[in-house]
Structures are given as structure tokens and as C-alpha cells.
A and B are shown apart, each in its own frame.
Chain A
């Protein structure tokens, strides 16, 4: 930007002129002139009327300033005093700072004879209220979810961690959007290597506009071409505080209700925060169940294809008899049958996601009825195939992380091709390749798949099994007595 380091001038008129030039063709910019009691313009207040809290400005700030100004005789000094009393705390001498303050929902006050302008933030744009998270639904646990406003989101985190150990650092990312990105961590827990890596990668982001944290995620992740998500995102403040306590770094992006958590392990995507709020028996049962559904959602259609076209001897005889009846007269080969049904299922899923909620439900019901029952009745698709596809679909919905579920759904298709080509041999080779790939992935220098290699046995187990709360590993470093009142538990 060429306006960088252009100093402000003592003349209000010239400053206003410069700003008018910069904000030319902008209907929302307001230049409010403040006159002394004798009618001489002595100051100008500049703001974007759509961003600031107009009610507070007109009913409190402006009347107070003018009252004070008239009472004090209308000098520039008294005006400045009145303004500071109303919250104009920043003062700056650069034109670009003035522009940024205006753009960031601020008021800029240029006073005659001063080469430094005063500024304050007075955001008044609309934002939704803190509500229950839309995508991470819990039965038990806090109901609050992040919204699109970073300040509110930071507030939600700060009020859950009442400690001076909670540190933050802000970045402005996006040439035009100038989005605030705040990095949060607990300085006694965080791995400094990870923190430095986060800083290095965030400063390297080259984006024009940041619409959502997803763009930052894509920019800073380790392997952008891997189908697996390597950065966790969450809508839940409780999840962020748990992660901070585990030594993770949270990245809060203004304008996005999703907070990024790094480094992430593959298992983090399989455990919802609710696991910590249930009894550990139940939580572990569900964890086991989700590992099974993960496997089902990835492999079931391909295993069905492989067994029913290559390895008929692996199907138990009574089941084989059932299949024999069910498959009679089905015109499509098993592989095509599976492909058609899987694609139909994906179409249904996509339709029900894109449609408004009320319509979406009826679409999925009608779709299931038509695709499932009619296809079976007319003998196009066999019943076992409908069961396989439905089970696979439902299994993929149990994976708490949407981006992991979608990865599984996407990987299912190449697996089906390979199963139809080489049978179980191909599936096992794919599983082998997949595990190798997962082992090779890193998230901010930490291994992505929790394996025994870099860790201890206990750490490995804790990735998969939730121990009773008293047996979970305590904080990694010495807890500061000033930080938190009670004893600290490593949650999860």
C-alpha cells in the first residue's frame, strides 16, 4: 500500500481531504465535523456507519463531547480531553493506521492543530448470539458454541481458563480482509517447537481474503495433498480448553466459528468431546464402536464386493444360501450394483445437506424409500447390497469429525474399484498403503497416527482408551499454583 507511513497533518481539512481521497466512491464513510461554540470547525470524526454502534455514538459519545467542549470553551485541548474520557484511547500519527482503524469498526478523531489523531473501536455490526454448536452435537456437556466474532470466541475461551498462563498472539492475515487471527496457548503446557512452527507458518500465509479458518487450515497444514485432515477444528469452547490443557495451540480466526487446534492426531478426529463427560466404560464402549464404524464406513462395500465375486468360500453356507436367493435375477454385476447404490446414497446425502432442514428430511426419507425399496422390488439391486450401503452410510455418520467422515466416504470408491479388480488381496494392500501413509503424516512435527514408536505405552493407550479420571496422566509440566485452583487433570 502506498499510503504506508504517510504522516497525518495538523490541518483537519487536509487530513479529511486525504481520507476522502482514499475512501472515494464509498457511500458508507461519514465525516462528522465538530465545531466550536463560535461555529469554527475544530475537529472531524470519521467512521464507516455500517460498522460502528451508531446508537452509542449519537446518544452518548457525541452529546458528551459537545457538552464538555462547550463547557470548557471549545479549545482543542479540551476536546481531546473530552474524547479520551469517552474512550478514545489510541492515538496515532500515520494515515494508514487511521484507515485501518476506520475499516476495523473504529472512530477516528482528527483535531485541528494536532498531527496525531485519536481513535477507538466501537463495533456495532450484527452478530448472532452464542448458541449450541451446529455440527458437534453432544447429549451432555456445555451447550455454548463459537460464533463468527473473534472477540466473543476469545471471551468464551478466556472465561474457561482463568489463568495468566493463557497467552495469545495476534496476526493480521489477508491483504484485503485484514482478518484477525489469534493464537492461544498455555505457556506451561505448550511445546515451543510447535508454537514456533505455528508462528512461522502463519506469517507465511499469503491470502487476499480470509473467508473462513478453513483457508488458513489448508495453507498451514503439513501435507495439503493428503486426503486426511491434519488440523482439528471445533465449534466448542470446552474442547478448545481441553486441547489447550493438553499442550495444543488454538488458532482463532475472526469471522469463523471454527477454531483450529494443532497438532492433531488421527484419533482426535474420532473422539467427540462428549467422551470426557460420560462414564469411562460407556465412553470406551463408544470409542470401540466408532473404530468399528470407521472400518465399516471405509471397507464394507469393498469387502462385500470382494467376498461375493472372488472369495465365495469365505461366506458361511447359510448366509450364502440367503445371498443366492437374493441375488437371483439381478442384472448388474455386484461391483456395478455397489457403485450405483453408493452414488445414489451420496446424491441423497448431498441433497439433504444442501436443502433447507425441513425439506431435507423429507428428501432423505423419500429417497431412501424410492432408492431402497423400489430398486429391490424391481429387481435392479439385491437386498444385501441395500443393507451394505445403508450400513456403510450410517456408519460414516458416527464419525464425529465431518472432514474425516468425508475422507472415508471418498476413499471408499477407489477401494471398491480395487476390490472388484483384485479382491481381498487388493483391499489388504490398500489397507497397508493407507496405514503407511498415515504413519508418514506429521502434524506440526508430531506424528499423526499414534503409534508406539515415538511415545510410551501409556501415551499410546490414552489415544484410544479413556482411563478413569484419576488415572489419566496429570499435566505434563509442574502446574503453577497461581494458575488454577484445583489439581489439574489431563483430560483425555
Chain B
């Protein structure tokens, strides 16, 4: 391998590394800026112009104020509820579906699978879905964010592919020992598919954590709002208001500024913390899905 590189190759490599470094900086810097701003002293931060390479002073006041905001606390707890209950239901439903649709000698398996996959390309659209929710009485309940999101077809395909990969011999020897389908699913298939289950927990969990549009159309009661909907009010709607009234004025409240950054951090940190632990699994999960495609 130690052959001398040609000059063009050296240039190619250098340009490549520089380009990828730039991309990484562009990806990462917004988060760093938000982090630095959120722990800066509000008054010092407002004075500052341009790129932040370090927090301006140090203060956790913004975080304290975020956690004193009753809207945020309430919606944070709601989101935790949606994530916990929603993801549990997701894993259960997806596992049941993936198991049944990956067994051999099930007559209606392919028909059911086809009908399910077809829904990826067809759907009734926003309004019929809204009317359905209205008709079955799910509007303005906690269930509005959980039941219609009970599973996704894409994740079903991923889990089904993983279940198909479990050797048949294990299932057959369990059957000889008198195991039924429940036992096989929960004692053999799931324990052998833990990496994929971890990926599913990550995908579904993040999905519930980040979801806001369902809440926007299905919920009126503020007590049910998830965090993202409250975030939208704080980050986007307030800002457009203040932009309209004080263009060029620049007289925004100092703490108001840093509170926004602290809110972003509080809403994003759980995901960023979870990310390194699950990262080694999810690439595998995506690949499994890709093979089947």
C-alpha cells in the first residue's frame, strides 16, 4: 500500500477531507451556537454580534426560566407520556404483525402484506383522516396522538425482514417442545432480534418525540399539547410577531433571547443523549430495510 501517491491523488484527498470537514462544521455549528447562547449571561449575549466560539459569561438563568414555565412543564410531561405509551404500543403491534407476516405456511400472509404495502402509495389524505378521527371520537383526547400512530409500514417491513432471518430450526425445535406462537415470538424471536428492536425503539421514540402536526389538527385542549406544539409557539410564532413589530429596532428582551435557546436545548437534549448509544444499531436497521426494498 505504500506506493507513492500521484499529485492529483493528494489534491483529491485533501479537497475531499476539507469538504467533509466543512459539511461537519455546517451540521454541528448551529447546535453549538444554540448551546453556547443558552448558557451565556443574557445581558452579555445580547451585546454580542456574529459567531460565538464560547459562551458569553455563564448563567443557567434561562434554563431556570424554562423550567418555571408551566406550559413547557405540562407539555414536556405530555410528550413523555406520548413517547412511552406510543412506543410501547408500536413495538407490540409491529412485532405481532412482523411475526405473523414472516411465518411460513400462512395462507393469507402475502395478501395481507400486499394490502399493507399498498397503503404506502395510496392514502386518503388529510381531510378524510381528520373526519375519521372526528367520527370515531378521538379528537381532543390523548389517544389522538397514539392510536392512529400505532405502527408504520416501513418499520413493519424492517422488523419482518429481521424476523425472517431467525433460523427456522429454532422455531421447529421449540414447537416439538410444545411451544405455541406466543411463546415462540416472546421467548425466541424477540430475544434473538434485540438489535432490531432497539432500532425500532429509537425510530418510533424519536418519531413520537418530534411529532407535532397530528397534535395541531387533532387537539384543541392546551392541556393535551405535546412539547413540539408549545415549542412552535415560543420559537416561531413569537418571533414572527416580534419581527413584525420591531424590525430594525433590535430591542428584544435579553432574557427572552436566551430562553429560546435554552428551550431548544431542553427539547433536543434527550435525543442527543440517546443518539450515541443507539447509533451502532440504527445503521444496521436501515440496511435491513434497504435489502428488502
Chains A and B form a bound pair? no
